[in-house]
Amino acid sequence: MVGDDTAITEVLNRLRRAHGQLAGVISMIEQQRDCKDVVTQLAAVSRALDRAGFKIVATGLRECLTGDSAEGADRMTVDELEKLFLALA
């Protein structure tokens, strides 16, 4: 994992929030809730996942630029970071 303890905590919090939101979406579908409500919550899950991914990439960029990588960890190249970023687009 790329990042310090603070970044990792932030990413995990975002992912846990998205996990809860996704469980809510599944429940809404099972309850045959209105399409508008389901899609709104599904969009929120998608944004939460995107933000977690962008946080990971941003942390990787910061480490790449400053040279602050974990001991023994291979630093990512700019091309690898760009590929990760574009995977989220």
Q: Using one digit for the tens of pLDDT, what is the confidence trace for 67-76?
A: 665 555 667 7
Write the burial class of residue 17 (CB in 10 Å: 0-12 exposed, 13-18 middle, 19+ buried): middle
- The larger pLDDT score, comparing residue 51 to residue 80, is at 51
Q: What is the pLDDT of residues 9-67, one digit of tens each?
A: 999 999 999 999 999 999 999 999 999 999 999 999 999 999 888 888 888 777 766 76
Q: Which fold has domain 5-88?
A: Methane Monooxygenase Hydroxylase; Chain G, domain 1 (1.20.58)
- Domain edges within the chain: 5-88
Q: Which two tokens stand for residue 76?
A: 């990512």
